Structure 1
């Protein structure tokens, strides 16, 4: 149903959000098993995982850098603009995942 730019934006949003939420929740579970504070573990993981989720949602950074390189030096700005839109969608997904984890743990711990 959704294909093209909108479909990729939705996919990038949910992949990055899912990586932050899933990684933080499973890290909190491992903290419980190892007798550490799960809230502080989830807090630090949710912050640390944002950049990795962003890179993973975009499919690795090399393809993104190639598109930007071609856009700048070959004057093809539409692929570069499309990549920027995907980057913004993935960034918003990371931030939403971070906010959800903060809500779950009750704020900064």
Structure 2
């Protein structure tokens, strides 16, 4: 059996420490990237969701403003109210009759 000298033991110990350090760093990086609920990829997914929800919020706010203006107009403008009632709901004035005609179909 050969006897190792102290230099060889130190090199061997350093090599083992480097390997262990590399393994620890490797698994730490894996954890940072793929940790469930906390990893980098989960973070990027949440960032994209924030962007999507912000855009949706802006669209809904614009729609809300549009509807508020429409409500105010319906409350104050009688002609607009009548127009909406006729077009959207098919309402008629007293003694009005609606005649619907079919468009003639072209013969081929």
TM-score normalised to the size of structure 2?
Answer: 0.29
Structure number with bigger Rg: 2
User: Would you tell me which structure has more helix in proportion to its own residues?
Assistant: 1
The higher relative CO (CA closer than 8 Å, separation ≥ 6) is in 1
